[in-house]
Amino acid sequence: MANRIGIKVQNKVKEVVFMSLLRGTLAKRKLDQKIAKLAGGKKKSNGVKRIPIKTADKMKLLMGRYYIKAKIAEKDPDQKIAWITSGGPVEILHAAGVTPIYPENHAAMIGTTRMADSLCSVAEDQGYSRDLCSYARSDFGSILSKKSPIGGSPRPDFLVCCNNICGTVTKWYQELQRIFDVPLIMIDAPYQYGDDRPEAIDYVKAQLQEMMDKVGQITGKPIQWSRFEETVYRSKEALQLWRNVQDMLAHRPAPMNSFDTFIHLAPIVTLRGTPECIEYYKTLQAEMQGRIRNGIASVEGEKYRLGWDNLAIWYKIQFLAKKFGEYKAALVVSTYAKSFCYEAPYQDEKDILRTMAANYIAGYINHGLDYRERELLEMAEKFHLDGFVMHSNRSCRAYSFGQYELARRMEEKYGLPTIMIEADQSDTRSWSDEQIGTRIDAFMESLIARKNAAAK
């Protein structure tokens, strides 16, 4: 009897969640149409014609199912939920059967659906400074107001924070711990200025081991090593596929652009370590292979190729794609999409945990300027770049401070021009289409003039 009621409740939850997701999707579709209309996107202006990526529909289903599962987990006392940072060691959670929730993903959705301004204001009214990261502000605003594009995130049983992406998450998660009064597992992944230090890898390895023990205590079931191993291998496979997909953008013309990769990184962040994630990137890879075979370009008549640095400007993805598209310029690589698939130089199949520790230190924004310069240069060469678009992101000091110097090095050492776009990842309040549009015009005109001059 109790069981049947349980199923009934579950079905009801499914229905409610599905409807709220649907509402979110519909609202977003409406918004997309509105934006497209405002941008004059319905007309195929300047011959820019986009053939949509079919796998995107699959992602909506995949992510939808994931959120429904998470919502159901919230009602099931045996199913633990952990909130985790985008750079956190999620494999341990998957191996423990814990449902991971990503406040950063949620915040990106808030940014895309343009709910960030109002949710940030809610947080600001409660005393959070407007200078704080807009993801954190909109997350707090969403928790406080219970407003969200997907009906809110399920409540966490515990929190996992890895500071390999910034020190901001340390503070953000301390605040989440105060709000929810649940355990917080901190993984401190020291920032590397030169080659990755062995003692830092040992330090992270020790913390990962502790995390496995703690997660086992929280769920009441120690993590099975074989299951953990299997999860790590699945994760590795998915990461390789995601790398392959990004590498395919080196093809001229690129079969998709960086703005697409910002959308397609949701599964690698959320579901790496699961079979679904592997399936997803296999499908995407096959579609890209097909597009290359059939000569389908993300930007028709692609003439110029640019790299992107920093987080997406979620509320202006279409505006930027269209703006650069007008100049036949395609964004073909980004430090951001690559952030979620770094592999460390150190790899040892016999020590999975230490290899994992090294990989969690390895990301772009956990490294200093010289490393970042090498990465950018490698991208420029591999992807045949004509220049960089750098998003100087008010919300992200760890990512942004140093960009002026990197832009200078790219220009002086390698003759690669950079446009610096001063903006924010999700808070739209300091953005101006006109101002940024004019700067992009000036940048592209000068880039084209230089390229033409060089060709003569």
Partner 1 sequence: MVSGNGTPLEVFTSVCDDFYATARAVAASGRKVAGYFCSYAPQELLHAAGYFPVRALGRPGGTPRADQLLQAYACSLARSSFDAALSGEFDFMDLVVFSHTCDTMQNLADLWRSSRPNQRVIIVSAPSVTAGAAAHAYYRKVLGDVREQIEALSGPISDDAIRASIELYARHRDLIQRLYTLRREHSERLSGQDLLAVVTSSVMMPKEDHLALLEPFVVELEAAADPAPKRLPRVFVAGSVCQNMGFITALEEAGCMVVDDDLCMGSRSFSLPDAPAGDPVDALVEMYLGRRPCPAFHTAGFDPGAFLVERARAARAAGVVFLLTKFCDPWFFDYPHVNKTLEAAGIPGLLVEVEQNLPVPEQFRTRAEAFVEMLKAKAD
Please, which residue, 177 or 334, has the CB nearer to partner 1?
Answer: 177
Smallest distance, Å, CB 58 to partner 1? 36
Among 20, 142, 339, 400, binds partner 1 (CB under 8 A): 400
The residue within the footprint of partner 1, chosen from 6, 47, 167, 290 (CB under 8 A), is 167
Of 7-15, 89-97, 120-128, 267-275, the segment contacting partner 1 by CB under 8 A is 120-128
Contact 336, 311 (CB under 8 A): yes
User: In a 3-state reduction of DSSP, which class is residue 162?
Assistant: strand
172 lines the binding site for partner 1 (CB under 8 A): yes
Backbone angles phi, psi at 268, to 5 degrees: -70, -35
* Strand runs labelled E in 315-444: 329-334, 387-393, 418-423
Choose one: 57-65, 83-91, 173-181, 441-449; the region binding partner 1 (CB under 8 A).
173-181
362 contacts partner 1 (rule: CB under 8 A): no
Q: Give how far Cα 366 sits from Cα of 65, 188, 214, Å.
A: 32, 11, 25
Residue whose C-alpha is closest to residue 89's, from 205, 226, 195 = 205
What are residue 162's DSSP bridge partners? 187
Tokens 């049983």 map to which residue? Answer: 157
Minimum CB separation of residue 410 from partner 1 in Å reads 14
| Cβ–Cβ < 8 Å for 125, 415 | no
Spell out, one character per residue from 377 to 396, where the chain touches partner 1: x when CB under 8 A holds, - when not: ---------------x-x--
Q: Mark residues 199-238: x for contact with partner 1 by CB under 8 A, - for none.
A: xx-xx--xx--x----------------------------
Distance CA 44, CA 48 (A): 6
- The reply on whether position 119 binds partner 1 by CB under 8 A is no
Is residue 397 close enough to count as binding partner 1 by CB under 8 A? yes
Name the packing angle between helices 55-75 and 2-38 (round to 10°): 140
Tell me the window of 65-73, 197-205, 228-236, 318-326 that interacts with partner 1 (CB under 8 A). Answer: 197-205
DSSP secondary-structure letter at 224? Answer: P
Considering only 57, 213, 405, 433, the residue that binds partner 1 (CB under 8 A) is: 405
Counted residue by residue, the chain has a size of 456
Position 209, amino acid: Q
Task: Rule CB under 8 A: choose which of 171, 214, 282, 384 binds partner 1.
Answer: 171
138 binds partner 1 (CB under 8 A): no
Judged by CB under 8 A, the residue of 110, 311, 362, 398 near partner 1 is 398
Cα 162 to Cα 100: distance, rounded to the nearest angstrom = 14
Which residue shows structure tokens 């409660």?
A: 126
Measured between alpha carbons, how far is 142 from 24 in angstroms, rounded to an integer?
15
188 part of the interface to partner 1, by CB under 8 A: yes
Q: Tell me how far apart the alpha carbons of residues 187 and 89 are, in angstroms, rounded to a whole number.
A: 9
Q: Does 136 bind partner 1 (CB under 8 A)?
A: yes
181 binds partner 1 (CB under 8 A): no
User: Considering the rule CB under 8 A, would residue 178 count as an interface residue with partner 1?
Assistant: yes
Q: How far is the CB of 416 from partner 1 (least distance, A)?
A: 18
CB of 334 within 8 A of CB of 317? Answer: no
The residue ranges that bind partner 1 (CB under 8 A) are 126-129, 131-133, 136, 163, 166-168, 170-172, 174-175, 178, 184, 186, 188, 190-191, 193, 197, 199-200, 202-203, 206-207, 210, 368-370, 392, 394, 397-398, 400-405, 422
